[in-house]
Amino acid sequence: MDKEQISRHVALIEAILFVSKEPVEPGRVMEFLAMTDIAEFEQLLALMEREYLLERPERGLLLKRSGGGLQLVTKPDLHDDLKRFFTVKQSTKLTLASLETLSIIAYRQPATLAEISDMRGVNSTGPVKSLLQKKLIKITGRKKVPGLPALYATTPEFLIYFGLNDLSELPSLEELTELFEEKEQPSLFKE
C-alpha cells in the first residue's frame, strides 16, 4: 500500500469508528476497505494507536478494542473534565447485589434465576431485573426442565461496561481466589 492509500484507509477507519455508537467488528471494516490481509489491517491499527499515544499525545482520543470490536474512546485522564462539562450523573453504578448476580452469570452462563439465587443464598429477582434494564444481561433461551426457566447470559454491553474485548479476558476463578486471599485482613496477633 502506498502512503496515500494508507492515509485514506486510516481516515476512513477513524471516521467509521467516530460515527459508530457501538464497537465495530474489525472484519466489517476490512470488508468495507476491501482488505483481505489481517496483518496489513493490524499495521493500520498500530499506526493509529501510535499516532494517538506517541506522535500526537495532545489528542483526546484512543483506539480501543472493546466488545469484540474497535472503538474510538476518550482518554481516561480527560474523564473528570468531560463529566463536569456534560454533568454526567453516576446513575449507572451497580449495587453489590447486582455485581454478585452479574459475576455469577458471567462465570456460569447461561444460568437460571433459581441457580443464581441458590448460589447467592437470597432471591435474585431484583438484581436480575435491574441488569436486564441496564442491558448487561439478556435472556438467551429456556432450560429444558419443568417450568422452562429463562437462561441468562451477558451481553456485548457487559463487555463494553467493563472494558473487555471478550469473556476470555475475565480473570480466572483461581486468580480471583488469590486476589481475595491477598486482601484478607491482617491478623491481630503478631507472630
DSSP for 91-107, written as a single string: TTPPPHHHHHHHHHHHH
Label residue 187 by pLDDT band (50, 70, 90): very low
Contacts of 26 (CB under 8 A, 6+ apart): 41, 45, 69, 70
Q: Do residue 111 and residue 147 come from a single domain?
A: yes
Choose the final residue of a domain: 27, 52, 86.
Answer: 86
Ramachandran category for residue 59: left, alpha or beta (phi over 0 → left; psi -120 to 50 → alpha): beta
Q: Do residue 135 and residue 173 come from a single domain?
A: yes
Give residue-wise pLDDT tens across range 77-133: 898 888 878 764 445 688 889 999 999 999 999 999 999 999 999 999 999 999 999
Q: Do residue 35 and residue 59 come from a single domain?
A: yes
**What pLDDT is recorded for position 166?**
87
DSSP state of 90: -
Q: Which of 48-62, 80-94, 167-181 has the lowest mean pLDDT?
A: 80-94
- Number of structural domains the chain divides into: 2
Q: Do residue 71 and residue 119 come from a single domain?
A: no
Looking at residue 166, which CATH number applies to its domain?
Answer: 1.10.10.10
Q: Which of 3-17, 29-43, 80-94, 120-134 has the lowest mean pLDDT?
A: 80-94
Choose the final residue of a domain: 86, 111, 141.
Answer: 86
Residue 21 lies in a domain: yes
Q: Do residue 49 and residue 7 come from a single domain?
A: yes
Contacts of 111 (CB under 8 A, 6+ apart): 104, 105, 151, 152, 153
Q: Which domain, by its residues, includes 79? A: 3-86
Q: Is the pTM here over 0.95, yes or no?
A: no
% pLDDT > 90, the chain? 54
Mean pLDDT of 17-32: 93
Residue 190 lies in a domain: no
pLDDT at 182 over 70: no
Choose the final residue of a domain: 37, 68, 86.
Answer: 86
Q: Do residue 114 and residue 67 come from a single domain?
A: no
Alpha carbons 157 and 164: distance in angstroms, whole number = 10
**What pLDDT is recorded for position 163?**
83
Alpha carbons 78 and 121: distance in angstroms, whole number = 41
Q: Do residue 100 and residue 176 come from a single domain?
A: yes
**What pLDDT is recorded for position 88?**
47
Alpha carbons 90 and 51: distance in angstroms, whole number = 32
Give residue-wise pLDDT tens across range 128-137: 999 999 999 9
Which residue type does 19 have?
Answer: V
Q: Do residue 105 and residue 65 come from a single domain?
A: no
DSSP state of 69: E
Q: Do residue 104 and residue 147 come from a single domain?
A: yes
Q: Compute the mean pLDDT over every residue in the chain, rounded to the nearest whole number.
A: 87
Would you say how long the chain is, in residues? 191
